[in-house]
Amino acid sequence: MKIAVLAGDGIGPEIIAQAVRVLTELQRDGLKVELESGLLGGCAVDKAGVPFPQETQKLVTEADAILLGAVGGPQYDTLPRTQRPEQGLLRIRKLLNLFANLRPAILYPELANASTLKPEVVAGLNIMIVRELTGDIYFGEPRGIEQRNNQRVGFNTMIYSESEIRRIAHVAFQTAQKRNRQLCSVDKMNVLECTQLWRDVVTETAQDYPDVTLSHMLVDNAAMQLVRDPKQFDVVVTGNIFGDILSDEASMLTGSIGMLPSASLDENNKGMYEPIHGSAPDIAGKNMANPLATILSLAMMLRYTFNQEVPAQRIENAVKKVLIQDYRTADIYESGMRQVGTVEMGDAVLKNL
């Protein structure tokens, strides 16, 4: 099993270093993985002139899974769009056909106070958002800004084929089968034809999964329900743009952006695993970043790509224990807890592993 490790920018190298320590420990216990590092994002622009260099393309194509820190930073915001670090991310998803993005929003009981919502609304929250990642208005053509009738007009195309909808629906139904068997599909079928097709195809796909209860919700209502009563959801499936927004909303219900992992999978469960947060330039290099989202991304990798449930649970249990033992990085700190830095949090996870 070969893992491509792309630390990226900002806090990326710091949090990835802690995840690599966990992997090294598991290697010592017999997990057969090889690691190889590569450049992606701003660091690749600096060293190779482009955000997704040829060598990295080869590395990620050959690897079984990819562990990514984060990319981006203010110093790259003025570059031409094609050279920005985020382009590296979009291109990697497209190149590897990583069409299914799984983002759990879990609120550990110890962190219930970290949410801006009342603890009774969010305590025990455990939602999985399944977002389509390679289609929709983000990739649809035609797109652009042009002159029409003496003024600039901006336009994009929202487009999904039924095969694209069906394959993400299958991932979502199968994910629901491993959880509480409730799937909510989110669309805007009252206004957008594209999402009428979405609803039709998801409904058709449901016939293959009689054990899963399917419901549908309009995206504006879903945004509201996520805040009003988030525990009504088990698995949510939606398209790329709605999923982008709703998954950020769901993750912020937990109040701890530094805690949440994600997986982006292809049809054969090859995947890219990364924390949901960005490169946090404001705290980069200060040993302040929370490495737990990255370490939990590793657990998702072991579960979804490598089918290694035992070490995946070892990692998740170690993370639960450090929270029970009151270890907190600054982002999840409350008075009376033990405040630690990135490396010390890594130490605590290793000790509990």
Question: Known catalytic residues?
Answer: 138, 188, 220, 244, 248
Tell me which residues in 35-94 interact with ligand NAD (CB under 6 A): 70-73, 86, 89
Asked whether 242 and 188 are in contact (CB, 8 A), the reply is: yes
CB of 232 to ligand NAD, least distance (A): 27
| Binding track, positions 224-263, relative to ligand NAD; x by CB under 6 A | ---------------------------------xx-----
Q: How far is Cα 176 from Cα 172, in angstroms, rounded to an integer?
A: 6
Instruction: Outline where 96-182 has alpha helix (H).
Output: 119-122, 162-177
Among 289, 295, 322, 323, binds ligand NAD (CB under 6 A): 289
Instruction: Please name the helix (run of DSSP H) or strand (run of DSSP E) that holds residue 127, with its range, or none.
Output: strand 126-132
Q: Which stretch binds ligand NAD (CB under 6 A): 90-98, 173-181, 285-293, 317-325?
A: 285-293
CB of 173 to ligand NAD, least distance (A): 27
Q: Which is nearer to ligand NAD, 8 or 135 (CB)?
A: 8
Among 331, 340, 345, 349, binds ligand NAD (CB under 6 A): 331
CB of 67 to ligand NAD, least distance (A): 13
Q: Which is nearer to ligand NAD, 15 or 63 (CB)?
A: 15
Query: Which two structure tokens, joined as six digits, stand for 229?
Result: 């009563």
DSSP 236: E
Q: Which is nearer to ligand NAD, 104 or 234 (CB)?
A: 104
Instruction: Outline where the chain has alpha helix (H).
Output: 12-28, 42-48, 54-62, 85-95, 119-122, 162-177, 193-205, 219-228, 240-253, 292-304, 309-324, 342-352
Q: Which is nearer to ligand NAD, 205 or 262 (CB)?
A: 262
Q: Which stretch binds ligand NAD (CB under 6 A): 51-59, 160-168, 288-296, 343-351?
A: 288-296
Q: Which is nearer to ligand NAD, 41 or 239 (CB)?
A: 41
Asked whether 262 and 133 are in contact (CB, 8 A), the reply is: no
Task: Look at strands 182-187 and 235-238 and give their pairing.
Answer: parallel
Query: How many Å is the Cα radius of gyration of the chain?
Result: 20
Burial grade of 47 (CB within 10 A; 0-12, 13-18, 19 or more): exposed
**Residue 104: strand, helix, or coil:** strand
Residue 41: name the closest of 16, 10, 19, 20 by CA.
Answer: 10
Q: How far is Cα 296 from Cα 316, in angstroms, rounded to an integer?
A: 7
Q: Which is nearer to ligand NAD, 71 or 194 (CB)?
A: 71
Please give the size of the binding site for ligand NAD, defined by CB under 6 A: 22
CB of 278 to ligand NAD, least distance (A): 2
Tell me which residues in 265-284 interact with ligand NAD (CB under 6 A): 274, 277-283
CB of 318 to ligand NAD, least distance (A): 17
User: Binding residues for ligand NAD, per CB under 6 A?
Assistant: 11, 15, 70-73, 86, 89, 257-258, 274, 277-283, 289-290, 293, 331
